[in-house]
Amino acid sequence: MPGKATSESDSTAVMSYPPIVCEQPDDVQSVIPLPGYRLAVRFFDGTSGLIEMRAMIESREAGVFEALRDPATFNAVRIDLGAVSWPNGADLAPDAMHAALAAHGEWRLA
């Protein structure tokens, strides 16, 4: 007796999670790359200012930030979970950035 082909629907449960939304006061709201390895940053609480990264990026100990010497890579800056980051894994600590910008309006990384 030939077997009967049957079709079963996929019973795999689909899990849906809401997206992670970072809107805490010290989460980065916007980042704009500027010439000279600088960033204009704004936080959700309104704190804003300039990040000066030239000294760090051009240093011999740049590490993961060395890749940012390429302008296209530097300009690929984005916000990831409330922090400034790049596709190569480089990122900046939002708490330290927020404190420096709140106190001085700029953060110079060496």
Domains by residue range for the chain, with CATH = 28-108 (3.30.2020)
User: pTM for this structure?
Assistant: 0.79
| DSSP three-state, residue 74 | helix
On the question of pLDDT at 2 being above 90, the answer is no
Round to whole Å and give the CA distance between 33 and 72: 10
Phi then psi dihedrals of residue 55, to 5 deg: -60, -40
Helix (H) or strand (E) holding 57: helix 54-58
On the question of pLDDT at 65 being above 90, the answer is yes
In tens, the pLDDT along 68-92 reads 999 999 999 999 989 999 999 999 9
Q: What angle do CA 58, 60, 57 make, to 5 degrees?
A: 25
| DSSP three-state, residue 21 | coil
